[in-house]
Amino acid sequence: MQAVLIRELRKSLRRGIRDYSTNAKPSLVLGAYEPQEKDGQLILSLAACQFNEGIDGKLEQILEVAGKKLKAGSSRVLYGLGGGYNAVAVANLGKQDAGFCALDQVEEGRENVRSAVASACRQLRDAGETMVEVDPCYDAEAAAEGGVLSLFSYDELKAEKKRRFPVTLTCHTQNDSYKNSAQSEAMEKAWKRGTILAEAQNLARRLMEAPSNKMTPSIFVEEVTQRLQGKCTIISRDKAWAESENMGAFLAVAQGSPEPLRFLEIDYSGGPSSLPPVALVGKGITFDTGGISIKPSGDMDKMRADMGGAACVAGAIMAAAKLRLPVNVKGFIALCENMPSGTAIKPGDVVTARSGKTIQVDNTDAEGRLILADTLSYAETCKPSLIMDMATLTGAVDVALGAGAAGAYTNCNVAWDLLHHSGASTGDRLWRMPLFKLYSNHVTDSQLADLNNIGKYARAAGSCTAAAFLKEFVTNKHWVHLDIAGVMMNRDEVPYLGKGMSGRPTRTIVEFLHRYGKHYHQMINNFK
């Protein structure tokens, strides 16, 4: 009885803290740039200057001391400054003139804003602040992305006392230069766009982070349907449908698990009906043991996120719908588990894909390319202007690129240019990899079938041979394959993402769709 009373008392206290937090004054994030001279002062942003004036210069006085060792991308929380705020976090935005960095292939200024705002928002959350206004830092979209992405936490399965308090972020517009002006409206629009982009990536992170018993193929369909209902048309297919489509490769992977497979189609119509759609294809292995070619037990739990491609497709389409992008998008997601059992496919088995090509399966852990083969073939039926597939496909791409960039393979230079610039803008980069005929020769050299699901030199160019395998199932002249295995997780590589599943490169895909829709008519001749 005493233990029960103690638990109830703790719950009451926690509710009280939440209620108090709700009624408390907000906190504020302000930006400042590195000094131009070695021992100079931090250069306050427009919003920071106005705040400083409103408190009689106290902010500047404190930063003369407190700002000396404040590094780019970091922040410092200050209390007692007044101005209507409980706490003020000053974020170092780096160099004032930071732009595109040719070496890093990224818009450095935008990345600095994301990282600095993220640091400040995390510090305020950890200090118990639940309402935070964020200085737009001259790039409201990037500021919103940094803040919203930094506060993501998958803790819904933990006891309530172990969950993080939710934090409400808003754009700080209390600046005379912004009030009642077109600039204010543009800033709010940019903030909203950044929030939508970050929320889309957070959706992908949530889907990837969920344990596999809480994110089966059927549950994935339910989650995505709930998020996209009313914005998109959603169709869920079953095993009987896959059999009617002769998806022998997909069915072969799924046959080892009692969990029923699902094939999800998502249709977003944001452009005229005459505009051919972009097809987004996602690998949806909700858990990958490797099958009979079983993986080592260490870190196998991370394979709950082997449906990262499917998660990114869902997040990207959600953002496209919320932003009302002027494009038509069709999503195709094959969902199943890859498990070892008495019914599982065995090394050396031969299956027939939807296209009619036969595949010798020498490694059941190379299953992603099998389900994608049938999904790509089916995606061609909607006559898309471009097909983009994404998959946590190979460990080889992690060896090649690590978390620096996702590997991109394409037969279309125009699509690559768009993707490349999109990644530079979002900070979530892609790097073009080769589709040499050499790699195609590696997968078409098969003893028993038309293709082998691993290259004849198993350890050589694994990501490249996987892409070459997929190429055998694509006839569209505008195809992009993204191998996202290396960016599946974040340790500490991206400062505005916490540890765990990353949801990359969702924002880059949305930016690509935005640019594609905006410039499609100018690009169509190049595409032809």
Phi and psi for 366 in degrees, rounded to 5?
-100, 55
Q: Which helix (H) or strand (E) holds 510?
A: helix 506-527
pLDDT at 177: 54
Query: What's the DSSP call for residue 41?
Result: -
- Is residue 295 part of the annotated active site? The answer reads yes
The SS3 assignment for 175 reads coil
Predicted confidence band at 137 (pLDDT cuts at 50, 70, 90)?
very high
Q: In the chain, which segments carry CATH 3.40.630.10?
A: 210-487+494-527
- Helices 462-471 and 368-379: crossing angle, nearest 10°? 30
* CATH C-level class of 210-487+494-527: alpha beta
Predicted confidence band at 459 (pLDDT cuts at 50, 70, 90)?
confident
CA dihedral 407, 413, 415, 416 (to 10 degrees): 30
183 vs 444, residue with greater confidence: 444
Average pLDDT over residues 310-319: 98
What are residue 27's DSSP bridge partners?
132
Query: What's the DSSP call for residue 232?
Result: B
CB 386 within 8 A of CB 478: yes
Query: What's the DSSP call for residue 287?
Result: E
Active-site residue, from 295, 302, 432, 456: 295
Predicted confidence band at 522 (pLDDT cuts at 50, 70, 90)?
low
Work out the percent of the chain whose per-residue pLDDT is above 90.
Answer: 85
Topology, domain 20-202: Leucine Aminopeptidase, subunit E; domain 1 (3.40.220)
Predicted confidence band at 176 (pLDDT cuts at 50, 70, 90)?
low
CB 463 within 8 A of CB 431: no
pLDDT at 527: 58
pLDDT at 37: 80
CB 248 within 8 A of CB 374: yes
Active-site residue, from 369, 429, 504, 515: 369
Q: How far apart are CA 28 and CA 170, in angstroms?
A: 10
Average pLDDT over residues 323-351: 98
- Is residue 471 part of the annotated active site? The answer reads no
Phi and psi for 228 in degrees, rounded to 5?
-105, -5
Q: Is residue 4 scored above 50 in pLDDT?
A: no
CB 35 within 8 A of CB 94: no
**C-alpha neighbours within 13 Å on the C-beta side of residue 209:** 21
What are residue 389's DSSP bridge partners?
281, 481
Average pLDDT over residues 66-78: 89
Predicted confidence band at 18 (pLDDT cuts at 50, 70, 90)?
very low
The pTM of the full predicted model, rounded to 2 decimals, is 0.93
Query: What's the DSSP call for residue 35?
Result: P
Q: Burial level of 39, CB count in 10 A (0-12/13-18/19+)?
A: exposed
E strands in 383-470: 386-391, 406-410, 430-432, 451-452
Mean pLDDT of the residues in the chain: 92
Q: Return the exposure string of 175-213: e unless at least 16 CB atoms fall within 10 Å of the residue's CB, then b.
A: beebeeeeebeebbebbbbbbbbbbbbbbbbbbbbbebe
Q: Is residue 183 scored above 90 in pLDDT?
A: no
pLDDT at 17: 43
Q: How far apart are CA 231 and CA 238, in angstroms?
A: 23
Average pLDDT over residues 195-224: 98
Q: In the chain, which segments carry CATH 3.40.220.10?
A: 20-202
Q: How far apart are CA 507 and CA 316, in angstroms?
A: 7
Residue 172 to residues 23, 28, 114: CA-CA distances in angstroms?
Answer: 19, 8, 16
Q: How far apart are CA 116 and CA 10, in angstroms?
A: 35
pLDDT at 14: 43
